[in-house]
Structure 1
Amino acid sequence: MADLEKTGKGVVVGTAAASVLAGVAGLSALFYASVIERNWFTLREESLDVLPPGQRPRRILHISDIHMTPAQGAKSKWLRELADLKPDLVVNTGDNLGHKQGLEPLLESLEPLLQFPGVFVPGSNDYYAPKFKNPAGYLFRTSGSRNRSPKSLPTEDMHQAFGRAGWVNLANRRQSVVLDRMRIDFSGVDDPHLGRDQYVGFPNGSVSQQGAPNVRIGVTHAPYQRVLDNFTNGDAHLILAGHTHGGQLRIPGYGALVSNSDLPTWRARGLTRWSNGPKSSWLNVSAGIGTSRFAPVRFACRPEAVLITVNPTSERGAPEGGK
């Protein structure tokens, strides 16, 4: 009987110790995800051969999902330092704001980058302030959010500030930008996650421009398949998107659990090829720089900006992205 009692106590003590260890491990993981990795910013670099032959390489800085709120000094400092890369072009794929008072710190953080040519599209959190939701809902939501709550963010003020700096708003627009005698033809859409997207195609160019060196880039916040298919059908060489946060919580060796869209989870971060019938384009999905202030965690998914060096092809022929 004494042995049984002793064994029983040992089981209880062992179970309690295991529970304590599990609790400590859980708290350690939460601390890491919410304090360390969330602010462990990184630069991912990619290289693509998509320019016409004879062109010099260009450096495109892709930023996304800043979700700026007041008092984010580490993020602000890192954003300002990105200007040291001296990109030829900045592409901002939306969700810049995370708080109704986030505009001033956002513009202060981006001020050095606003000195470079740039284009942008809005995301849902450029229109609507985030609000607290059951975090578990994120793991199962794949369709677009149709939030129709009052607009509570300074969207127009942000767009005007970007415009004064020379950045081009590509929301449901097409626009050509000339960089050192090479034309970049952009096609952009407003946020697909809110159902605001309208594909308008790529610029046609004038008759005299038809043979001019050019490259086609599609720009969207949320990488929904309908949008990617439209850009690819338009012979995009490259498509740039954000929104997914790379899954935000990833399982090492497996990857993202969700993409917060109809994009396959294995494409939630990184550079891949997107195909639609016989055509294909390069697709770069940024894991983003910030998070919602109501879910300030990242695990196995560091916040990132992406520097893409686009190089000339040895032979123009069929483009790397496009046909």
Structure 2
Amino acid sequence: MSIAATAGAATLGYATVIERNWFVLRHQAVPVLPPGTAPLRVLHISDTHLTPGRHRLMAFLRSLDTLEPDLVVNTGDSIASPLAVRCLLESLGPLLDRPGVFVYGSNDLYSPKPANPARYLWRTSVGEHRAEEPDLPWEELGEELTARGWLDLNNRRGQLKAGGLNIAFAGVHDSHSLRDRYHLVAGEADPGADLRLGVMHSPEPRVLDRFAADGYELLLAGHTHGGQLCVPGFGALVTNCGIDRARVRGLSMHPQAAPADGKTAWLHVSAGLGTSPWAPARFACRPEATLLTLVPRASR
């Protein structure tokens, strides 16, 4: 076997066996709370793409309750199999007893299909499911989560109390599959709330712009997998959505240049915990969950 073939086989083995199961918890502080407010711990999970048998992933999810978050935010693509709802609920375990909110991604509705991942180098998969009928148990998933007290934010607004704070939420269904209906949640975010959060699966700029303009101070999204296959020193090759590569994961501001009205929001994009069963690899982009510690913003 040539050196190049050996290196390729080693890289593939690392990406599919080691890094795909090398879960990491990220920590990030976000200065978004009113001055004098006690910190709020928000656990952001996304893109588990869960299938039965992903025991390491399920064990990692179960371990996250030890962080004692005040709030859990799930930004979608939770399942990838008709049999995964029960596995997900068992993995979340006592996290379901904490305040939580969720939205769907396209892979909560549609079974993953084999595809050439290289196609994302020249196109995205926006809208590819719009003519199809969902074949995954997304309704069961939503019913189980709401039965445990989590807010369904798919094209909805809502409020929860977490960590002693009154939090106003708005969310949209998956923009990537063209199911978002921002007009159903449009309007000024509740000025009487202690904090205003916008939740979505895919961080499409057209939706981010509207959340920021309506006064939501922190926006949470997933979908990108952080690029999934990244180049060390360069980063993600693609985002598979409208956001730029520099913001494919982690914390940033949106818009990056302050608009005329001065309204900007913090944006956190999770690189997610899973992969499609048809593309079970990660490289230079470990699967992640993030504990966001919200702290007071600087006094003006």
What TM-score do you get using the length of structure 2 for normalisation? 0.94
Look up the match of 1:24. 6
2:224 aligned residue = 244
Distance in 1 (alpha carbons) for counterparts of 2:287 and 2:189: 36
Deviates more, 1:125-134 or 1:268-277: 268-277
Q: In structure 1, what is the equivalent of residue 86 of structure 2?
A: 104
Q: 1:156: Cα distance to partner?
A: 0.6
Compared with structure 1, are the counterparts of its residues 180 and 249 closer, same or farther at alpha carbon in structure 2 (3 Å cutoff)? closer
- Written as runs of structure 1 = structure 2, the 5 A alignment for 1:62-73 is 62-73=44-55
**In 2, Cα distance between equivalents of 1:56 and 1:156:** 36
Retained in 2: the 8 A contact 1:62–1:91? yes
In structure 2, C-alpha distance between the alignment counterparts of 1:203 and 1:163, rounded to whole Å: 25
Cα distance between partner residues in 1 of 2:187 and 2:73 = 17
Task: Tell me whether 1:272 sits opposite 2:252 in the alignment.
Answer: yes
Which of 212, 215, 235 is the aligned partner of 2:215? 235
> Aligned residue for 1:224?
204
Question: Does the aligned pair in 1 maintain the 2:47–2:78 contact within 8 Å?
Answer: yes
Is the 1:185–1:216 Cα contact (8 Å) retained in structure 2? Answer: yes
Q: How far 1:138 moved relative to its partner?
A: 2.5
> Helix, strand or coil for the counterpart of 2:113?
coil
What is the TM-score of this pair, normalised by structure 1? 0.87
Residue 176 of structure 1: aligned partner: 159
Partner of 1:279: helix, strand, or coil? coil
CA distance in 2 between partners of 1:291 and 1:312 (Å): 35
**Cα drift, residue 53 of structure 1:** 2.0
The alignment status of 1:201 with 2:181, answered yes or no, reads: no
Aligned length: 293
- Give the C-alpha shift of residue 112 in structure 1: 2.2
What residue in structure 1 maps to residue 241 of structure 2?
261
> Match of 2:39?
57
List aligned pairs for 1:1-323, cutoff 5 A: 20-142=2-124, 144-147=126-129, 148-199=131-182, 200-201=185-186, 205=190, 212=192, 214-275=194-255, 277=259, 278-315=262-299
Structure-2 separation of matches of 1:107 and 1:33 = 27
Q: How far apart are residue 143 of structure 1 and its match?
A: 5.4
Once superposed, what is the RMSD of the aligned Cα atoms?
Answer: 1.5
Residue 111 of structure 1 aligns to a residue whose secondary structure is helix
Residue 231 of structure 2 aligns to which amino acid in structure 1? Answer: I
Tell me, which stretches of 5 or more residues in structure 1 are unaligned? 1-18, 318-323
Say if 2:45 and 2:273, in contact at 8 Å, map to a contact too: yes
One-letter identity of the residue aligned with 2:247: R
Alignment partners' CA distance in 1, 2:274 and 2:201 = 14
What secondary structure does 2:2 align onto?
helix
Identity of aligned residues (%): 49
